[in-house]
Chain A
Amino acid sequence: MNTHDYAKPEEYGLADLLCCAASREVQDNEIVFAGTGLPMVAIMLAQKTHAPNLKLIFEAGTLDGRPPEIPTSVGDARCEMGASRSSGLYDAFSIAQRGYVDLGFLGGAEVDEYGNVNTTVIGDYLAPELRLTGSGGNPDINSFAKRTVFIMVHEKRRFTKNVSYITSPGWRVKKWPGGEFVHRRELYGTAYRGGPSAIISTAGVFRFDEETGKIYLDTCHPGMTPEEIQELCNFPLDISRVNGLTAPPTREELHLIHDVLDPDEIFIPKTKR
């Protein structure tokens, strides 16, 4: 990446920053499993920049696709363009459970300090304030990928001590029938491959300590301080390992996002350039 080509603050928006930060989590040649929306734009951006050989899997059933433009969902006809194989969900989830997937890209409504994510209900499960979409493939990808990256809106109520419902497993998870929290390694046995590796929120980039399973702040987005970000979390946030600011998008990345991948602004609004 040409670091001298970083865009100036007035040239990009927050969604651009999130998308580029997420894209940089991908390494070339990895097998990547992504959900609809910003995660999709992020991996396709990686495919068009530093990771041309990444293998893209969508859970509706396309394997190693090379869509020329952004699909509107993982079931979209555009997912099939240039694919190695078009199949179905049994294949996609078998591939994940078999251990092929290096990196999963997901979203969520709430997250706790161990990376447990909720996409099912807000409030009491038995008398919900709001029923959300439900799990979809979130827990499945998060169970089996070596790393998962979450892209989330940062609000204090969303970064919470206890999520309303654990839809997707983080580093410390519930051991049923008792429900006591244990390290996920203890439950997953030979299927253990890793867990959430990053959360890219609208405030900063967070990572996890694999042994303690706890979240810590890695970089602050431009304009945010570690103390301000701590204030946006409903749990004590480790800010001792902060590693400066999140790198801004490059002009090339902005061109790819807005002129090539998402010209209709389906997922990422344009910032005047």
Chain B
Amino acid sequence: MNSKRITIQQAAEIIQDGSSLTFSGFTIWRRPMAIVFELIRQHRRHLHLIEVNGGPHTEFLVGAGCVDIWESCWVGHELYGKYGANLSRRVGRKEIIVEDYSHAEMMFRMAAAASGAPYGVTQTSLGTDIHNPEYDMLGKAGLRDGKRIAKHKYKFVEDPFFGAGSQVLVPAPKIDIAILCVQQVGEEGTVRVNGQYYSDPEAARAADITIVMAEEIVPEEYLRRNADQNTIATFEVNHILECPFGAHPTGMFGRYDVDGAFLKDFYGKTRTQEGFDAFADEWIFGHDHMSYLEKLGWSRMLGLKANTALNYSVRPKKGA
């Protein structure tokens, strides 16, 4: 069997300029930050992010100028930052195309892609400006080629089966690469997510290539003893890598908490482009993952470490 193991640098190299990407996690939890930082170091450009929801990783990629298109429903840092300041700045300057869907629409779109269907069907958000035809931003930009980007943002149909009224068809996204950040992966690619799995199983299956960055690579045999506890099967995963604390500053259920102080600092300092550039110079450029952790320091990381009985840390004052 060929090894699926790669390095962080190789993972970032698989992602090309112009690739469409999605990620594991939920807002400020289990985001593949170590690979995101490497993409910024490698100056990746014209990325198309298609996310069930965004978070700090989105804000880093957008702030660094890596992203041309963002299709999602939410971006921010939860209680550590009111909104996505970098996205807001670039939307205002028309430097990025944002296509808004609702959270459930994004989830049902991802599930459609994961099941090989061309679209999902839902009744959510009827009557809102999400369905305002004037606000089809990819259409306005002339990008709806019916190949990589759907011909329409959505379609209304009347239920032909039960007369249940107006339904919304939402297109399955075409995703080149899913990057996941999880607790454990086996040598052959079996993924075990502890805690809520958010939209990770659908994201992995929807993408053409799935890269899994794990806190630890463990023997397959160990994971296969309790297959009912596993989340994603081997053949859905193309590449694996081990990277402890790879989600920092986002949190990892059972391993470490969200670094609220770091996110607050990021949000506060990156409300201007100059602020972002200075932050990136301090924390990203000139570093690799190990020197980033060394800069953070032992006391900070041990403070975030989760209690193994509770699955969260009881040390930091919540709210940072």
Contact = CB atoms under 8 A, between A and B. Distances in A.
A176 B132 contact: yes
A76 B73 contact: no
Given A72-B260, A96-B104, A184 B123 contact: no
Given A72-B79, A174-B127, 4 more contacts: A73-B78, A81-B310, A129-B92, A173-B128
B27 interface: yes
Interface of A: 36-37, 59-62, 70, 72-81, 86-90, 93, 96-97, 116, 120, 125-140, 143-144, 165-169, 173-177, 179, 182, 184, 187-191, 264-267
A187 B126 contact: yes
9 contacts: A37-B79, A62-B196, A81-B310, A90-B199, A120-B100, A128-B88, A134-B54, A174-B132, A176-B132
Contacts of B317: 264
Given A72-B319, A264-B317, A78 B312 contact: yes
B195 A80 contact: yes
B107 A73 contact: no
A182 B127 CA distance: 9
B75 A134 contact: yes
Contacts of A175: 127
The 7 closest A-B pairs by CB, nearest first: A189-B165, A173-B127, A131-B88, A75-B26, A140-B104, A61-B196, A77-B312
Given A60-B196, A128-B91, A76 B29 contact: yes
B73 A136 contact: yes
Nearest to B30: A75
B238 interface: no
Contacts of A127: 92, 94
Nearest to A177: B133
A264 B126 contact: no
Instruction: State the main secondary structure of chain B at its contact with A.
Output: loop
A166 B130 CA distance: 8
Interface in B43-93: 52-54, 72-76, 78-79, 82-84, 87-88, 91-92
B102 interface: yes
A191 B123 contact: yes
B111 A90 contact: yes
Interface string B112-145: 0000000000111111111111110000000000
Interface in B171-207: 195-202
Given A135-B100, A140-B102, A188-B123, A72 B318 contact: yes
Max chain B Cβ within 10 angstroms of own Cβ: one of A62, A131, A167, A173 = A131
A184 B254 contact: no
Given A133-B76, A265-B319, A174 B129 contact: yes
A131 B84 contact: yes
A190 B319 contact: no
Nearest to B108: A93
Contacts of A60: 26-27, 29, 196, 198
Interface in B11-27: 25-27
A73 B53 CA distance: 14
B35 interface: no
Contacts of A86: 195-197
A68 to B, nearest CB: 9
